[in-house]
Amino acid sequence: MKVPLRWLADYVPITLSVEELAHRLSMAGAEVESIDRTGDWGNLVRVGLVTGVEPHPAADRLRLATVDYGGDAPQTVVCGAPNVAAGQKIAFALEGASLHDAHSGKTRKLKRSKIRGVVSAGMVCSELELGLSDEHEGILVLDDAAAVGTPLGEVLGQTVLDITPTPNRPDHFSVLGIAREVAALTGQAVREPEIEYPQEGPPIAQATSVEIADPDLCGRYIATIIRGIRVGPSPEWLQQRLAAAGQRPINNVVDVTNFVMLEMGQPLHAFDYDRLDEGRIVVRRPRPGEAITLLDGSDHQLGADHLLIADATTGRALAGVMGGADSEVAPDTTNVLLEAASFAPDNTRRTAAALKQRTEASLRFEKGLNPELAGLASARAMRLLLETGGGIADTGVADAYPAKRPPARVQLTSDRLERIAGVAMPTETVRSVLSGLGLPTRWKPPGTYVVETPPWRTDIALPDDVVEEVCRIYGYDNLPSRGLSGVLPEPSLDRPRRVRESIRDALANAGCGEVITYAATSAAALDAVPAGPSGAPSGDDALPLLNPMSSQHARMRTSLRPGVLASYAANARGGARAAGRLQIFEAGKVFLPRPDDLPRERTDVVLAMGGTPAASAHDPEPRAADLYDAKALLDAVAAALRLPFDYEGAEPPDAALLPGISARVGVVQGTGKRRRVTPVGVVGQLDPAVAERVGIAGDVFLAELDVDALAACEPEPLRIGTLSRYPAVVEDLAIVVEADLPAARVHAVLTGNRLVERADLFDVYQGPQVPEGKKSLAYAVTYRSPERTLTDAEIARVRRGIVGQLERELLAAIRESR
Amino acid sequence: MALPDLAALEADARRELAAASDAAALDGWRTRYLGRKGRLTGVLRGVRDLPAADRPAIGKGANALKGTLEAAFDERREALLRGASVAQAAASVDVTLPARSLPQGQLHPVTLTRRAMEGVFREMGFDIVEGPEVEWDSYNFDRLRIPRDHPARDMWDTIWIDPEDAGGPAEGAEPPPRRLLRTHTSPMQIRYLETHRPPIRVIVPGACYRYEATDATHEWMLTQIEGLVIDEGVSFPNLKGTLESFVHRFLGPDLETRFRCDYFPFVEPGAELGIRWGGRWLEVLGAGMVHPEIIEAAGLDPERYTGFAFGMGVERFAMLRYGIDDIRYFYANDLRFLEQFRGSAT
């Protein structure tokens, strides 16, 4: 909303600097986005008085004008304008002033020049030269009241506040509404505009009637009539007001309706009365198939709720949005029917959106206007129409008002005010703030303010709405600040959240970089990287967005894999990271669709790693990442969560990973018969075909963990036992087994004996020293008893037991022992 | 019998010790002086044969010398050890060579900032919960007093999942519920109130989505922290005090702050907190007293319970804290950006 300061000053004296005014308005809720200044010509363009005009001695079409501009002596300049005359107040530019040049279209500095032999050091300006309009035929003649010597900016310049109203304040879409804010903020009263007008014509009931067929969509409709009005250009003051507020002047009738809309916030519409069939108004829903052509020439097929302002037969305007083309006020119009109405805000908004016709009128109606305002605006516009176009007003108004209610009253107790504001406010302060805002307030002892809602407000329905009015004008910054006190709530035990954060820390500490990718992706991206067994089968199953930001972000992801791999690919390509180890992860939500319900939102972690570290002084031939590096990162997670991880060949295989180089990750809980493994994820080498699809060259390893499943596994409580005081005995044991036997099976047997403290695999060998198809696993086995020093004989017995079990259960052979 | 000459013995011992330049020579020296048959040991043993008058002086002197020589021996031995290492290192160590590399990782700046913000609120006694990112329009809008076709919906450009009036509602019937990507974390106010009673003091961090073209200051995915406090006796000054305390702890104790009136349909009065940053006022978070209708809809007596709510953007605070000038860096995931946050625990 553009609020010209001069216009604002019609209703309330401006007692603050414009900057301070803008600041106070913003703090109170009417945010001033910018202060726009137009017409600042500096000190070199001033109000001048033409004291004399003489012919140019050497040119018929030129004259010499003598101008008093408040300088030491009047100055004589050459002037080509036909309308220059002695006694005029004009805009006089001195040498050096920056003016608009008609020929080049650029701004240039005015220079002393000789025109047909006469030296001219100054200029009487046209509107074009001042940048005010394209008008170049004659000079700009100023109002007689302008004082000679005043910088022109002070007479013609405009300072305009550009205000962004909040949706609850339709009154801020009006100059008067802002004036009320200013009045309240500066302790003044608003000068209300004049609304009385002479009614000398016949009773209006003889000429028109108003019928509201659909009162759910129209709460009030007022029609008034002027006969014999002259349609023509508006007076200068009206044109200037509109232009300063950013509206193009059209003719006096249209200009008055626009002026009152900008002044009071109530949209109005003027019909050519003689084009209304039977001269009457019917507010109704359209008939099936009904259409309308609007003022801007656009044609619209109307839906069931697109409310029409019709005459006896035909729709003439789209209610609250725009008038129709065939009832428009034209230059030959003599009788005008003026509409001031109140339309349902939600329906107006829906209609304007559906027909793509969001207008100044619909913008105001959709925020909800008080039907009382229509009465004020109707009278105000009638007064201005009579003033600017003459004619005679019919007596009375045709007012259909199904929504009429007594004025709303809100009762606010001083106790409630104090409980919200946190301080006791003096009654006088409260009353002065509220009356400054134009909210009639009565004090009902012992402690209640009775506040009436004025015609321009719709946002004051509850006591707390009044509290806000008081606090914002009093100033939020003038209220005290206090810390919280009272009882603290029970904290929520959100284990998935804690597990997720622990995994983030564990992976970052282990050398991985965290990424966060968009939660929406495309079906194609999801299909490029097959999801794990718990993901959606295909990208087409992922939840689609109705209005995505782009086709790249059209579905909610069902897997983190595509996003993390895309990040991996982008960083692997990016110059500095082209060589080296890359390890990144994301912890985020995936969205698993459920019919007619919100999707299940599961938190996953996906890790992608690969590459070879850059060669260094200490490691000239570094090793490429392999599966065991990826497992090391998962072990860091396992350690952080105190959940032992177990790896087993993935079955069924994960479609994104290479079979044989991929494993299911499980959490082991319980021992012996109660041992169970909960699946929590996968790890493995990304299928090179998939890697190629997502733009990754070289081996990359991927791990995926289901945070919710991990969170469901509780770690064993940590119990610190007594440390054995007896010595350990370590011996090596090389065990020959089938080449494809998982080492974990051997380890389980070794550590199954309670006298074996640990068994560490230090060599895996396949080659000439073991039979074909076999491998040798060499373990350092540590024996220790918590109760005594083990003898050689006891150790030999334990070893025999273990070896026997290995031979029986795993068909193993012992290669050597020492 | 001549008295032993301790001074001469010490002089000999020190001279020979200084000459010993390897482990074998050191061992020999110790045997000669301090060993079972060593010279000093001999003196100590001979003390009892001395005249009674001389015994105390000589005995005391010999014992002191024993301590002195043992210390000298240790010192010499350590010097030789160190000397050997230094000599060896001089040939192969260049202290200016780069270190061996340990793998280095880092958390995302949104994670770091979110956690730091959570930490401040946790210190103030706030609980932390999260909520769904795909929401019903009733939670995201209607129950926050933003009905369908209300102009306040323009404040949140929405990415929808379900089309409007899918299936066509019967005349006068409630329109079918629609799913959307939540535009703010405020729906969790409603959800939390479904399961919790006062005292309520909670923050809700999480991702939100807006149908908004991206530029240096706008992203369509963003992270918000919502706050809700409801209890007896909670007033606007508590809102001010809590949020001022937050920005002071998070961005600096001397930061200038101000509150201006703003509008959010689910609060009344509504406010916006601004901070003075780089000479300008920046609005950094929205807030207000919880609307009495929301308290009432939660089954609480608005005459007894009052409260405040607030919402702020994590990325915005991260940009302030780290001087980031383009919000698009956050989700572009360029490691040149992310790796700068190594070691930024807070």
* Neighbouring C-alpha atoms within 13 Å toward the C-beta of A363: 14
Q: Give residue B310's pLDDT band: very low, low, confident or very high (50, 70, 90).
A: very high
For residues A337-356, one letter each, b for 16 or more C-beta atoms within 10 angstroms of the residue's C-beta and e for the rest, the string is bbbbbbbbbbbbbbbbeebe
pLDDT tens-digit map of B213-248: 999 999 999 999 999 999 999 999 999 999 999 999
pLDDT for res A406:
87
pLDDT tens-digit map of B25-71: 888 898 888 888 888 888 888 888 888 888 888 888 888 888 988 89
DSSP string for A604-643: EEEEEEE--PPP-SS-SSPPPP-HHHHHHHHHHHHHHHT-
Q: Minimal Cα–Cα distance from B195 to chain A, Å?
A: 11
For residues A635-660, one letter each, b for 16 or more C-beta atoms within 10 angstroms of the residue's C-beta and e for the rest, the string is ebbbebbebbbbbeebeebbebbbee
- CA–centroid distance for A758 within its chain: 60
pLDDT tens-digit map of B191-213: 999 999 999 999 999 999 999 99
Looking at residue A400, its amino acid is: A
Q: From CA A628, how far away is CA A619, in angstroms rounded?
A: 19
Characterise A491 by phi-psi region: left (phi > 0), alpha (psi -120 to 50), beta (else): beta
Q: Minimal Cα–Cα distance from A632 to chain B, Å?
A: 12
User: What percent of chain A stands above pLDDT 70?
Assistant: 99
Catalytic residue among B76, B143, B178, B184: B184
C-beta separation of A496 from A603 below 8 A: yes
pLDDT for res A227:
96
Best mutation site among A32, A467, A478, A516 for testing chain B: the one with the most B CBs within 10 Å? A516
- Which residue has better confidence, A107 or B242? B242
Looking at residue A153, its amino acid is: G
pLDDT for res A535:
66
Mean pLDDT of chain B: 90
Q: From CA A15, how far away is CA A688, in angstroms rounded?
A: 75
pLDDT tens-digit map of B266-295: 999 999 999 999 889 999 999 999 999 999
Catalytic residue among B290, B309, B314, B318: B309
Nearest to A27 among B115, B261, B268 (CB): B261
Q: Give residue B167's pLDDT band: very low, low, confident or very high (50, 70, 90).
A: very low
pLDDT for res A144:
82
Q: From CA A255, how far away is CA A548, in angstroms rounded?
A: 42
Looking at beta carbons, which pairs linking B38-42 to residues 24 or more positions away fall under 8 Å? B39/B9, B39/B12, B39/B13, B40/B9, B40/B13, B40/B65, B40/B66, B40/B69
Contact A167 B128 (CB under 8 A): no
Asked about B284 being catalytic, the answer comes back as no
pLDDT tens-digit map of B105-125: 999 999 999 999 999 999 999
Instruction: Residue B247: list chain A partners with CB under 8 A.
Output: none
pLDDT for res A224:
96
pLDDT for res A479:
96
Q: Give residue A574's pLDDT band: very low, low, confident or very high (50, 70, 90).
A: low
How far CA A708 is from CA of A409, A500, A501, B59, B283, in Å, comes to: 54, 9, 12, 79, 37
pLDDT for res A576:
45
**Range in A153-162, A256-265, A268-277, A764-773 the model is least confident about:** A153-162
**Sign of CA pseudo-dihedral B11, B16, B21, B27:** negative
**Tokens 């494809």 belong to residue:** A740
A19 touches chain B (CB under 8 A): no
The H or E element that residue B8 is part of is helix B6-19
pLDDT for res A203:
96
pLDDT tens-digit map of A662-719: 999 999 988 878 889 999 999 999 999 999 999 998 899 999 999 999 999 999 888 9
Phi, psi of A556 (to 5 degrees): -75, 130
pLDDT tens-digit map of A447-477: 999 999 998 898 999 999 999 999 999 999 9
Asked about B224 being catalytic, the answer comes back as yes
Secondary structure string (H, E, C) spanning A696-733:
CCCCEEEEEEEHHHHHHCCCCCCCCCCCCCCCCEEEEE
Contact A420 B236 (CB under 8 A): yes
pLDDT tens-digit map of A364-383: 999 999 999 999 999 999 99
Q: Give residue B166's pLDDT band: very low, low, confident or very high (50, 70, 90).
A: very low
Instruction: Residue B338: list chain A partners with CB under 8 A.
Output: 513-515
A580 touches chain B (CB under 8 A): no
A467 touches chain B (CB under 8 A): yes
pLDDT for res A184:
93
**Range in A109-123, B7-21, B31-45, B179-193 the model is least confident about:** A109-123
Phi, psi of A353 (to 5 degrees): -70, -45
* Residue B333 tokens, joined: 């995931």
Q: Minimal Cα–Cα distance from B337 to chain A, Å?
A: 11
pLDDT for res A790:
93
Q: From CA A767, how far away is CA A773, in angstroms rounded?
A: 9
Q: Is B135 a residue whose pLDDT tops 90?
A: yes
Q: Which residue of A has its CA nearest to B125?
A: A488
pLDDT tens-digit map of B168-183: 445 556 778 999 999 9
Which residues, in sequence order, are CB contacts of A73 under 8 Å at separation 6+?
Answer: none
pLDDT for res A572:
87
C-beta separation of B212 from B218 below 8 A: yes
Q: Give residue A651's pLDDT band: very low, low, confident or very high (50, 70, 90).
A: confident
Task: Supply the DSSP symbol for A44.
Answer: G
pLDDT tens-digit map of A418-428: 999 999 999 99
pLDDT for res B323:
92
pLDDT for res A157:
80
Q: Minimal Cα–Cα distance from A539 to chain B, Å?
A: 16
* Residue A451 tokens, joined: 């506040």
A352 touches chain B (CB under 8 A): no
Nearest to B134 among A492, A507, A591 (CB): A591
* Residue A648 tokens, joined: 């087993």
Q: Which residue of A has its CA nearest to B232?
A: A486
Contact A481 B237 (CB under 8 A): yes
pLDDT for res A816:
64
Q: What is the ipTM of this complex?
A: 0.86
